[in-house]
Structure 1
Amino acid sequence: MTTSTQHAGGADFHRVGVAGSGIMGIGIAELCAKAGLDVRVAVFSDASLATAPQRLAASLDRGVAKGKLTADERDAALGRVSFTRDLGELADRQLVVEAVKEDEQLKQDLFASLDKIVEDPDAILATNTSSIPVVRLAAATRRPGQVLGMHFFNPVPALPLVELIDSVLTDETVSARALVFVRDVLGKKPIPSPDRAGFLVNALLFPYLLSAIRMVESGLATAEVIDQGMTQGCAHPMGPLRLADLIGLDTTVSIAQAMYEEFKEPLYAPPPLLKRMVEGGMLGKKAGRGFYVYA
């Protein structure tokens, strides 16, 4: 294995792979491209192969419109990102970030595949999971010491925080490299989080979101009134129901279920209303309808 002296920091990552092209995957790809890295995104459907580049371009265009980057910087970032349907094209990557939906079996299968595909023995395999303990994904590989959590927040280009989660099997050198990469290359603010369902932020956030959903379910207040109370009374930038819509109600159910399975505490259990909404296709902002209706 390469020594820690040779891998003194995250600047040794030049070729980054992203597995998944949803909201988080595209956001991570954009962030890495703007940092000057060669980014390859693996998508999992022909439809995504067509739509993912369009969503990346649209996000960068919004950055230009807001004055956050120039047209030349946008074009340069676009030129650094390629898309593929072949997971095998991530073979030469030095860091791969998994960003598929919050399904433990799906993620385990993906990590087992990446373990066989990625050639560099010093490559880091990171997961953007919101709730699944990292050690369960690491155990699907033959290099569990190279696996850690790198949990970004939505929208990735805008929010500064990244949770870094070591499993009990993560090598210290890997942790150090990931920290330098996130902090110095991507310009984010990393914090260490424990390898337990929900990690740090969601362990605090989700009881709050689920409590707000239960208030709607019981008829105590409408989503609008609850959100108004928290934004105007507690100075939150967004109310809990609109935030749940932004996260995605299907993702909210997955995270809540993972936390409930780990801790068996009722405050983590997804409310029936939330499950019925997801079953009915009301997934939040991405679907045009959740606790609110979106144009």
Structure 2
Amino acid sequence: MTDTTPARVGVLGGGRMGAGIAHAFLLAGSAVTVVERDGRASDAARERIRHGIGQSIARGFPGGAAELLSRLTVATDPAAFGLHGLVVEAVPEDLDLKREALARVEAQLAADAVLASNTSSIPLALLAEALERPARLIGLHFFNPVPASALVEIVAGAQTAAELPDTVAGWARALGKTPITVRDSPGFASSRLGVAIAIEAIRMVEEGVASPADIDRAMELGYRHPTGPLKTTDLVGLDVRLGIAEQLERELGPRFAPPRLLRDMVAEGRLGRKTGRGFYEWEDGR
């Protein structure tokens, strides 16, 4: 059977990640509903997706913007998810916020619908405690920028229905992604490895071992990483890196303790590309 995405996909949260997830499912042929907290945030989400679609078409995607955007709905009430086979939660990486959001969405879904979290570090077991149907919860961790990223990390919780990881892997392949499946554990595979490398790179900057650019070149040229750990941290967001590191420190111990430099940069608002300044200077988000 050919892998296909669900006919109707919901995304809770229309920020950078949520907009990217919506964009990817639109390109794959799904009708997509994005729910945001209010009208202003909804307008911003629609514009992010419209801009992303325009970029895909400029790069040669064989569709028209009007047709793609005709399958997009943006709303402010989770009741809009009522007929969707999959809803992906993409709100900020905060346990209480995600638990409340997932519970609100679950209340609107059919019993057989799949509820996925885009969490990058929070154990599914903690999220599942808020749900009536934890067997329908799965981790679906996308990477930024979503349309261009090749990987999707699928996280199977202890209560996740046995057939669900294979089903969701088929949806990921239909998006043009390569899925990996990991057991529910702190940081999963990608965040745990990515943060470990990033933390050590930040410590090296803190200690004056080398410049950010030279540390990145060491990994890019010596280990064939497409992007060095400090530039990747700028792209992910230093605040996001800090939040994941703090979560991993709580779960796995002091080896994941965030460096003082990371805390200071976040406190100063140097969050990376989204604020124009992190370990590098960025112009117009590039």
> Under TM normalisation by the shorter chain, which class is it?
over 0.9
Task: Give the 3-state SS of the residue equivalent to 2:280 in structure 1.
Answer: coil
- Alignment of 1:48 with 2:41, yes or no, is yes
Aligned equivalents of 2:39, 2:260: Cα separation in 1: 34
Task: Give the 3-state SS of the residue equivalent to 2:152 in structure 1.
Answer: strand
Contact 2:14 2:41 in 1 (8 A): yes
Aligned equivalents of 1:116, 1:45: Cα separation in 2: 20
Assess, with a 3 A threshold, how the Cα gap between structure 1 residues 12 and 285 changes in structure 2: closer, same or farther: closer
1:192 to 181, 205, 221: 181
Contact 2:5 2:28 in 1 (8 A): no
- Alignment of 1:25 with 2:18, yes or no, is yes
Aligned equivalents of 2:176, 2:144: Cα separation in 1: 16
Q: Deviations over 1:195-230 (max 9, x none)?
A: 011101122221110000011112222212212222
Unaligned segments of structure 2, at least 5 residues: none
Q: Tell me what 1:166 maps to.
A: 156
Q: Tell me what 1:58 maps to.
A: 51
Q: State the TM-score, normalizing by the size of structure 2.
A: 0.94
Contact 1:150 1:163 in 2 (8 A): yes
Q: Which moved more, 1:223-232 or 1:151-160?
A: 223-232
- Alignment of 1:220 with 2:213, yes or no, is no
Contact 1:9 1:181 in 2 (8 A): no
Assess, with a 3 A threshold, how the Cα gap between structure 1 residues 75 and 192 changes in structure 2: closer, same or farther: same
Aligned equivalents of 2:258, 2:64: Cα separation in 1: 43
Name the amino acid aligned to 1:275.
R
Unaligned segments of structure 1, at least 5 residues: 1-7
Once the 2 structures are TM-superposed, how far is the Cα of residue 263 of structure 1 from its aligned partner? 0.8
Aligned residue pair count = 283
Task: Give the 3-state SS of the residue equivalent to 2:34 in structure 1.
Answer: strand
Task: Give the 3-state SS of the residue equivalent to 1:26 in structure 2.
Answer: helix
Once the 2 structures are TM-superposed, how far is the Cα of residue 12 of structure 1 from its aligned partner? 7.5
Q: Tell me what 2:96 maps to.
A: 105
Which runs of structure 1 show a deviation greater than 3 angstroms over 4 or more consecutive aligned residues?
8-12
Q: Tell me what 2:259 maps to.
A: 271
- Alignment of 1:284 with 2:250, yes or no, is no
1:130 to 102, 113, 120: 120
Q: Tell me what 1:94 maps to.
A: 85
Aligned equivalents of 1:75, 1:39: Cα separation in 2: 14
